[in-house]
Amino acid sequence: MSEQMQQNNGQVSAEKELNEVLKIRREKLANLQAEGENPFDVTKFDQQHHTADVVENYADFEGKTVVVAGRLMSKRVMGKMSFADLQDGKGKIQLCVKRDEMGEEPYKKYKKLDIGDIVGVTGEVFTTQKGEISIRTTEVKLLSKSLRPLPEKFHGLTNTDLRYRQRYVDLIMNPDVKRTFQLRSRIMTAIRNYLDARGYMEVETPILNTIPGGAAARPFITHHNTLDIDMYLRIAPELYLKRLVVGGFEKVYEMGRLFRNEGMDIKHNPEFTSIEMYQAYADFEDMMNLTEDMVRTVAQEVLGTTQITYEGQDLDLGSPWERITMTDAITKYTGVDFHNAKDAKEAEEMAKSLGIEFDEDAEPLSKGEIIALVFEERVEEKLVQPTFIIEYPVEISPLAKRYADNPDFTERFEVFIMGREYGNAFSELNDPIDQKERFQKQVEKREKGDDEANMMDEDYVNALEYGLPPTGGLGIGIDRLVMLLTGSSSIRDVLLFPTMKPLDK
């Protein structure tokens, strides 16, 4: 018999076994309902304790009666005595169930319970002869029936697709996954606390936009039936937040979902969480200082250290982060100095010497765009320790303020760790005339087929004409930061419900 035939036969056998289990569990439910004990009629249970609290504070609970609730993760029946593992939202504890202590009829009902059933348990805390903290159970109440069996070895599955599609099962079976999302919540809370303590106000801005702006990205398009207009899911809240600074709010931030209709990989999901903050009378250097201090503070608070390991690489979030211009970084890692490039033609020749290829049929790139391309393809991946890259070309920074003494570059930075970008910030452009001209150049790119270019936002220009104070702005990708601080290799590991293609597609 071929290996393929064996696999097919194994799948058929597994499906038959599963169908039999499903049938038996539904029969058990029907019998309970016929006896007037429908578990789905239970509306609440007086859960008074959690398993982790009992285990961690055993001295306070020894010999005392506790009332816990959770899911049966295992069940070992040995005649008149049984053991089971109960898992709740905080941890797990062993149950010791004896017929003589529970009563004959309740014990019979207990033996009919299935792994995965959710139960309420009352009993006395003690330690077994083997030294395991347990609950000597006197009462078990079925609170919800599990009609599907739990996978026996879910943690070891190589089918990550199934884990992402059925995150609820992943959370049940894999404590490390649950811990990742608990840490995610703590990280987001720590960021909010950090900003709130420094006078920032959290605000909310529209997710449905008539003009997508604030970043270079392809938007998702939808249609508003009542207004009969196309609208876009936001790609960034930036332009709305800066309107608020114009209005007089000096420190604002928003943490929430953004949507970009672009590629998917281990670093990108079509919808993701970001935080953007803006501070009046500040510049990009203030934002650099804030970024470094905030990440360091959050790591210390959530992890208890600023020394972390990610994908086998030791990282130091505590020491001062390197700050280097984009052009100097290219020179440092390639030996080619683009300061010497007089124009785009010379810059292109220098890039070609580094093996960068150009599409001869495409629109020619400017000098600044070529410098950015070389940096992206030859430098980014080499930035392992936390590094601020500053001085971005104006052509790729339509919302950033130019250097007064070097107008081809902007007061902008991005922060890189392990070759990935974690944050983007700049001294905000507040010159409405310059801003309108840059928008117009973006429009021209869009007309030539660049669907990631910005649209003209006349109302935003109008807001700038009322006067935007000197302002520093910063955006940080929350998902990537969570990946870093939890040691997760894929963005899907830190999103509870990542975007997935339907199975029938």
Q: Is 182 helix (H, G, I), strand (E, B) or coil?
A: helix
* DSSP per residue, 331-377: HHHHS--GGG--SHHHHHHHHHTTT----TTSPPPPHHHHHHHHHHH
Write down the pLDDT at residue 155.
44
Which tokens belong to 58? 């055993």
Q: How big is the chain by its Cα radius of gyration, in Å?
A: 29
Residues 6+ positions from 70 with CB-CB distance below 8 Å: 51, 86, 87, 88, 89, 118, 119, 121
Write down the pLDDT at residue 10.
56
Write down the pLDDT at residue 505.
72
Write down the pLDDT at residue 363.
86
Taking the C-alpha atoms of residue 272 and residue 490, their distance in angstroms, rounded to an integer, is 13
Q: Is 215 exposed, middle or buried (0-12, 13-18, 19+ CB in 10 A)?
A: buried
Question: Can you give the pLDDT of all 505 residues of the chain as single tens digits?
Answer: 566 655 665 567 778 888 999 999 999 999 999 999 999 999 999 999 999 999 999 999 999 999 999 999 999 999 899 999 999 999 999 999 999 999 999 999 999 999 999 999 999 999 999 999 999 999 999 999 999 999 875 444 447 888 999 999 999 999 999 999 999 999 999 999 999 999 999 999 999 999 998 888 999 999 999 999 999 999 999 999 999 999 999 999 999 999 999 989 999 999 999 999 999 999 999 999 999 999 999 999 999 999 999 999 999 999 999 999 999 999 999 999 999 999 999 999 999 999 999 988 888 999 999 999 999 999 999 999 999 999 999 999 988 999 999 999 999 999 999 999 999 999 999 999 999 999 999 999 889 888 888 889 999 999 999 999 999 999 999 999 999 999 999 999 999 999 999 888 7
Which tokens belong to 313? 């690489």
Taking the C-alpha atoms of residue 271 and residue 495, their distance in angstroms, rounded to an integer, is 10
Write down the pLDDT at residue 156.
43
Would you mind telling me the total number of residues written for the chain in this entry? Answer: 505
Return the sign of the alpha-carbon dihedral for residues 29, 33, 36, 37: positive
Encoded amino acid at 422, one letter: Y
Phi-psi sector, 328: left (phi>0), alpha (psi -120 to 50), beta: alpha
Instruction: Give the number of other Cβ atoms within 10 Å of residue 434's Cβ.
Output: 16
Measured between alpha carbons, how far is residue 415 from residues 51, 158, 195, 290, 369 in Å? 42, 33, 19, 12, 19
Cβ contact 307:314 at 8 Å: yes
Q: Is 102 exposed, middle or buried (0-12, 13-18, 19+ CB in 10 A)?
A: buried
Element (H, E) at 129: none
Which tokens belong to 273? 């969480």
Taking the C-alpha atoms of residue 288 and residue 101, their distance in angstroms, rounded to an integer, is 65
Taking the C-alpha atoms of residue 157 and residue 33, their distance in angstroms, rounded to an integer, is 35
Write down the pLDDT at residue 213.
86
Nearest to 321 by CA among 380, 389, 225, 377: 389
Residues 6+ positions from 215 with CB-CB distance below 8 Å: 235, 236, 238, 260
Place of tokens 């590094």: 387
